[in-house]
Structure 1
Amino acid sequence: MDNWTLKAIQLISRLLAPLGLGLKRDFDLRLAEQKSLAEIQLQQELAQASAQIADDIRGPLMALTTLTHLSHEMGADKKELLKVAVGRIRGIVNDLVQAPADETSDLVTVIEPLLKEYKFSNPSTQWALHNHLSSAQVPVDLDTVQLQRVLSHLLDNAVEAVPENQSSIEVTLMERADHYLLQIMDNGCGIPEDLLPKVAEEGVSHGKEKRHGLGLFEARKTIEALGGELQIRSREGVGTQVILLFPKKFKSEEALVM
């Protein structure tokens, strides 16, 4: 190839290079637009599905609400439990159709009735609540429904892990200098050592035939968004200990300081 031909090729390459970049840029823009449209469509479909689910739940919820007023022969404990369950369902319905309120909740007020519900549903398990807090209230930077959802995920995991006989689940509340601590300990099957670092990742589960391991992942994601932490300790054949650390200083307060 002579010098003239080589220079001609190089010149043509330089002239076409901007065109190639322009085509790539146009392709990237179109791809981003399609992705954005797909995300918007998905959000709309999820919103529609949430509204439909909420609408479907309202009928049974109304029936349960009526039952709480008519259940004169029901014992006080069972009547209180029914009211708690109705309140939880109503909160879930509201959460489906509207954005959660920007509020705090009290950890003690949420965990006590929740444990009553689980005790009633799982009478063969020995339940215990150890409250070592110095204050009567523990403010958490989550609304009530969000906090109930996190704790329910963890309690469900514990219930599924414990044996049929001599099963026990203990919940402990403690306070440290910069955080509140909630511990859920069971005497279940435990988690293999090689799976333990991954068990709170999305889609990873252990010993669940009908569930897909979203509970720990969702709980960890929610707690970490507050600036808190979820810790898991476990031994196979002994049990599992899940610890939630709730920061005393809320993220909203940190933003004001900054």
Structure 2
Amino acid sequence: HAERLAALGQMVAGVSHEIRNPLGIIRSTAELLGGMPDSTDVQKKLSSVITEESSRLNNIVTEFLDFARPQEPNFQECYLEEIINKNLQFLSPELDKENISVYDNLDGRPLKLRADPQLLYRAFLNIFMNAIQAMENGGSMTVDVAEKKDHYVVIIEDTGCGIRQENLSKIFDPFFSTKDNGTGLGISIVRNIIEGHKGSVWIESKVGDTPGQYGTGTKVFIKLPKG
């Protein structure tokens, strides 16, 4: 019982960290908006992003506190490329700020599936934010989607600092983090969401040969059934 209370305390304390990722982007977007006084259409678009993500942030906090009982997906017909593009569009100010280039093979292809678009958006947001945080000196991120007969495989690759091999086996463990201020729940939340869709997620990574040297970075694989 004491251990459960301690874990709950850690989880509640970690809410503040989970908030920081989207909150940082909200701030960046607001700053960008403030710097474009003559671009009325752009201001409206960015204001819409701020409003939408503030609402999403409130949902994240609610789900975070209920981490031990993951939310059941609300399955509906949606499009994978729209979910990914919405993430990249939202992250555009942060990517520009961090000098990160993005390459993808989406090309407007309709990638239809039955899924919960809100939960998948959140899963991809966590993965993209981890990639951005791993590239402190800039870099590139590649998003590749392979369509199979009954499923999709999304591969998100960054040129960041990489994850050490001894940490890869623990990367999905709740509360495990290689960051000083991390709660270690982001990737656990990703796994819960993807597995809730009867999919799977796995990670390959390599660090540089010497401390501080950038290696080949990290690849995150997400397999999602179409139906």
TM-score, length-normalised on structure 1? 0.61
1:119 deviates by 2.0
**2:73 and 2:196 in contact (8 A); partners too:** no
1:218 to 186, 189, 195: 189
In 2: Cα distance, 1:78 partner to 1:183 partner = 33
User: C-alpha separation between the residues in 2 aligned to 1:179 and 1:83?
Assistant: 33
Instruction: Indicate which of 97, 101, 117 corresponds to 2:90.
Output: 117
TM-score (norm 2): 0.68
Q: Which residue of 2 aligns with 1:247?
A: 225
Alpha-carbon distance change, 140 to 239 in structure 1, aligned in 2, over 3 angstroms: farther
Give per-residue Cα distances to partners, 1:4-33, cap 9 Å, x unaligned.
xxxxxxxxxxxxxxxxxxxxxxxxxxx9xx
SS at match of 1:205: coil
Distance 1:170 1:77, change over 3 A: farther
Q: Does 1:138 align with 2:112?
A: yes
Percent sequence identity over aligned pairs: 25
Compared CA separation, residues 74 and 103, structure 1 to 2 (3 A): farther
Residue 120 (structure 2) aligned to one of 147, 163, 166? 147
Give me the CA root mean square deviation.
Answer: 3.5
Shift in Å, 1:199: 0.8
Contact 1:84–1:113 (CA under 8 A) maintained in structure 2: no
Q: Does 1:193 align with 2:154?
A: no
Extract unaligned runs of 5+ from structure 2.
Answer: 20-25, 64-70, 208-214
CA distance change for structure 1 residues 101 and 198 in 2, over 3 Å: closer, same or farther?
A: closer
Larger radius of gyration: 1
Q: What SS does structure 1 have at the residue aligned with 2:110?
A: coil
Matches of 2:188 and 2:81 in 1, distance apart? 23
Judged with a 3 Å threshold, the aligned counterparts in structure 2 of structure 1 residues 120 and 204 are, in CA distance, closer, same or farther, namely: same
Output the amino acid matched with 1:242. V
Say if 1:81 and 1:116, in contact at 8 Å, map to a contact too.
no
Asked if the contact 1:119–1:127 (Cα under 8 Å) also holds between the matched residues in 2, the reply is no
Please tell me whether residue 74 in structure 1 is matched to residue 6 in structure 2: no
1:108-127 Cα offsets, whole Å, 9 max, x none, are 22211210221212311112
| Greater per-residue helix proportion | 1
| Cα shift at 1:234 | 0.6
Q: How many residues align?
A: 186
Unmatched segments (≥5 aa) in structure 1: 1-30, 32-37, 54-59, 250-258
Question: Shift of residue 106 of structure 1?
Answer: 2.6
Q: Which residue is equivalent to 1:90? A: 55
* Contact 1:179 1:245 survives alignment (8 Å): yes
Change (3 A) 1:94 1:225: closer
Query: Over residues 89-122 of structure 1, what are the superposed CA-to-partner deviations in whole Å (9 max), with x where a residue is unaligned?
Result: 234446749x888343432222112102212123
CA distance in 2, matches of 1:194, 1:217: 18
Query: Which of 79, 83, 96 is the equivalent residue of 1:106?
Result: 79
